[in-house]
Every structure is written in C-alpha cells, then in structure tokens.
Structure 1
C-alpha cells in the first residue's frame, strides 16, 4: 500500500472562513447554530463544511438526529484550526497595538478563584498607568475558558490552575490559596466553636457546577466522611450570585479564602477542608508571544500577587 498523499492545504482552496466555520460547528454542534453565529445561511454553512471535507479528503463530522459529532479527523483538525485562528487574531491585534502606542485591548478570562481580589487589583494598577488600554473580562467555567483561549478569543486566564493534559497551554503559578466553608454572619452556625460535616450538610448549600474540579473535590470529601451531598442546594459559580445568597439566606458555601477576607458580612466555619486547596495563576497559550497589552497585564498580575500574598498570608 502506498502512503496516502497529504492534502494540499496551500493551493488556495482552503480559506480562513473554512477554519472559522469549523470552530463554530465544533462548539455549536449543529450547522444551524454555526450559521446563526456567523450570520450566514444554513446552505452556505453546509457548503463550506462540504468544501473543507473535500479538501482534506476525510469526514470531519458524523451526522445524527441530534446534530454533528466530530470524528477523530474533525477533533484533530479543529485543534489545529483554532491554533491558526488564535495566531491570526493575535498578529492582527499586535499590529494595531504597535500602531496605536498606549492604546490596545487585552481579553482575560476568569472564574471564581482569582476574580475577586487578584484580577481587580491588577486591572486597577494597569489602568492607572495606561488609561487608554481596554481590559475586557470574560467569566466562565475553567473548561469553557480553555476553549476560548485555544481559539484566540482570550489572551490569558486568571484563576485556579487545573491539571491540563494539552501541551498547548502554559501555566504560571502566582500563589497558593486554601478553600474555606463560609456562612453569613448571622447564620445559626456562625458563632459555633466546632462543627462537623454532617451538621453543616443539614443546611442548604451553594455548590460549584459538576464540571468543576472543586465540585469533584467536595463530593469526594462528603463521600470519604460517609455524609450525603446536600439535597437542598444551588449550583453557581458567579461570585455576585453566591455572595448575595450568602448574605440573604442560611446557605453554606465553599469559597477561596481571599474572597472572605474583607467581607464582615461573611463568617468562616471552624471546619477544615484540607486537603482541598489550589494554586492561583495565569494560563496562556504555549504558542506565540503575548501582545504588548497582555504582557502589561501579566506584569501587574505578578506584582499584585506578591502584595496579596503578603497582606493576606495567615501569619500576617
């Protein structure tokens, strides 16, 4: 058997629109959803996918009643397509920033860990020096933010550093942070000297979504202590939602320690969650170099992390 020839990807047939379409279909799961996102008609999107499959000479998606499922070829080529799009977006923004001197934009993704203390302080410090630089903050789950980062729609992610098997990301640790159980200051358990997990489980809880690492760790904590996961619960990762529910009701929540440091309306419970803990840091694409705006924010994040660690360390 003779080796299969490589597809001729540089003969002019494959366009950037094909890569953009592939990314949209992969995220949306349907031609209809991808077409709506890209503001094209369904026949145009269908034809674009067919053209790309003809160029690559493989089937990228399996068609089913519930939408499209990527084949092994689709998964592999989508990863490369996103890397190409990410580099193109970064190159365009780099040129714009060089032409605009102090102007520019940095897009940062964040989730519960790092979003309440570190990131706001870093943004404030950056804006004090470069007021015309735009910082766009995108909230999401760690998993969804990684997809956005790989596609070039984010410059970096600030938050918990999870174990990433994909070598396409670089992680920079800034500090370690513990997780604590908290309630409102007027909660029946707020003044308790000691509490156990079974007692705390009898109250309503706010839990992170099942797709998060913290949720899996909490489930393991309950399981190892032979305590059922609270049936009366809300699942939320938005700090504004969590904070308001904490202030208004008798819910219990597991939150990063720094979030509770400067809020007198929230009290910690005397129940250790060790070994649950995490490192807070920056996640970036491994390929390419950060734009000038992204580099400026990274510098501030590193500097503010030092100050946060000093101010809120347990010994201080």
Structure 2
C-alpha cells in the first residue's frame, strides 16, 4: 500500500456522501436508489474512491457489501466531515437569520420530564423555526454520536469524565434520587421501613452500564444486600411510570421525576449518598451551533427557575 494524499484535490465531497450512504444501505444497488443514480455510476465512483484511498473499502458478498478495516476508518472520518459541513451550513444560516436551524438533544432520565419540556417550550416561543429533536439512550451510547456530530448535547445526570479531553460539562442543578412507589403501595404502610423490606417487591432499575446502577449497588452493599433479583432494567420514563402505576414495583428516580407524578409517592428511605448534578455534556473541541447555544441558554434559565441557588 502506497502513501496516500487525500488533500491533492482528487477527493470530492460526493465521495464522502457516497461511502456513507453505501455503508448505511449495505448495498451498492440500494445506495444508488437512495442517491437517485444509476448503479454503474455508483460502482465507478466507489472504484475511483478506492483508487484515491489506495485500499479496498468494502467487501462484496451475495447479500451486499460490508466495510473493510480501511472502510470503517474512512467512513468514520467521512461522517465527521459531513457533520461539520452541516454544522457550517446551519451556523451560516443561523447567523444570517437567527431563527432557523435544528438542535438534537440526547436525553437521560434526569432532566427529561420537567427541565427539558420547559426549555423546549421557551425556545419554541422565541424561535419557532428551530426544529428540536429529542433522542433517549444511555450516556455511553450517546457519547460517540455526540463526538460524531449526530447530536448536539446530552442532558441528564453528569457522569464522571475521567481523563476524557474530548468532552466538557455544564452543571445546571443538583438533584437527589428518591425511592418511589405508587401512592397506595403497601410499603407506605410499613412501620420502620428498611431497604431489606423492599426486596419483597419487584423493582425497576436503570441499565447496568449507567452510573446510577453502580451507586444503587453500593447502597445495597452497605446494607449487606444484593440488588433485587426480581427486576426490570429500563431507562424509558414512560415505561417506568406505567410499571410503577400498575404494579407493586419500586424504583429509584430523580426527585423531580418522582414528585411531578401525583400517582407516585416517595418512600421514607433517603438515598443520601446518591445526589448528582444534572447538566449538559458537550464536545470540548467544537463550539455549539447557534441553535444548540440557544437551547443551552434556555436550559440554564429554566434550571435556575426550577432549582434556584
């Protein structure tokens, strides 16, 4: 394999679009249909790109194509370049008009039921032309998409970044986590309720890869207990609420989630060791787009109103 110069003018933007679409479609034919091109034209363009790169980017098979090791590397960078170009377009448009654009928010459980809806409502009132996209997933799942430019920010409980230089965080407020059950749950009638008593009931727990899972595991360990074996693991607030409303399940939820639902009551077992900042995680090396900055401004304003310092 010879040395490759991708800056000699041969590599075109259409090559980047092409390779990403082929990877997403898994087939040259489907990619051609998606791009409204003839299949031979797409095949020629892919061969041209592979000559420029100096390596095969896809392996061909009876069921389509799959990226090679070189293809995976090139596609990752192509997606980043295209994301940056979309951001450049939005920034120019936003600077010119100040009232259009898109902001994509990755949400975790904390902040999603009170803070985010209020901030979105305030943003839409002042900038109705901005489209807001909300996507829910775990923090670990969202970080690569944040770094690739597919989402603009992550809202939720702030996880330790360690020595990760590619991310930065903005703290909005601190919120305790409370144990919650439906308001007529039998545990509310128990005298001298202990954590061990709640093992008699099923639980809704966060996913194992979340920091809240690890913190709950420590809380139980301090009492000489293991996490409940009878459990559902879930981070969808709609599913968690339905399970709590309709069953004897118990859950550990951010206080604002717990207290904003009149069908739920907190249990008298404070989790004093679990209190975390709710905030926003952003790329450290990429400034927010105008739309994302407006969203961040509204999140900060609404957080101050919800949890005044």
Shared fold (TM-score greater than 0.5)?
A: yes
Distance apart, 1:303 and its partner CA: 0.9
Distance apart, 1:194 and its partner CA: 3.2
Q: Pick from 298, 305, 308: which aligns with 2:306? A: 308
**Structure 2 counterpart SS, 1:105:** strand
| Residues 59, 66 of structure 2: 8 Å contact kept | yes
Q: Is 1:120 aligned to 2:120, yes or no?
A: no
Q: Is 1:179 aligned to 2:177, yes or no?
A: yes
**Structure 2 counterpart SS, 1:113:** coil
Provide the alpha-carbon RMSD of the alignment. Answer: 3.7
Structure 2 match to 1:261: 259
Equivalent-residue separation in structure 1 for 2:3 and 2:278 (angstroms):
42
Structure 1 match to 2:126: 129
Q: Is 1:156 aligned to 2:148, yes or no?
A: no
Distance apart, 1:123 and its partner CA: 1.1
1:128-277 map, 5 Å: 128-164=125-161, 165-277=163-275
5+ residue gaps, structure 1, are: none
Distance apart, 1:87 and its partner CA: 1.6
Q: Give deviations 1:82-123, integer Å, cap 9, x for gaps.
A: 543332121122223344442222221112111111111111
Equivalent-residue separation in structure 2 for 1:241 and 1:7 (angstroms):
51
Q: 1:80 to 1:184 in 2, by over 3 A?
A: same
Equivalent-residue separation in structure 2 for 1:44 and 1:180 (angstroms):
59
Deviates more, 1:262-271 or 1:41-50: 41-50
5+ residue gaps, structure 2, are: none
Q: Is 1:111 aligned to 2:105, yes or no?
A: no
Q: Give deviations 1:51-103, integer Å, cap 9, x for gaps.
A: 7676556788999xxx97986x7887666545433321211222233444422
What is the TM-score of this pair, normalised by structure 2?
0.80
Equivalent-residue separation in structure 2 for 1:106 and 1:6 (angstroms):
39
Q: 1:70 to 1:235 in 2, by over 3 A?
A: farther
Deviates more, 1:162-171 or 1:198-207: 162-171
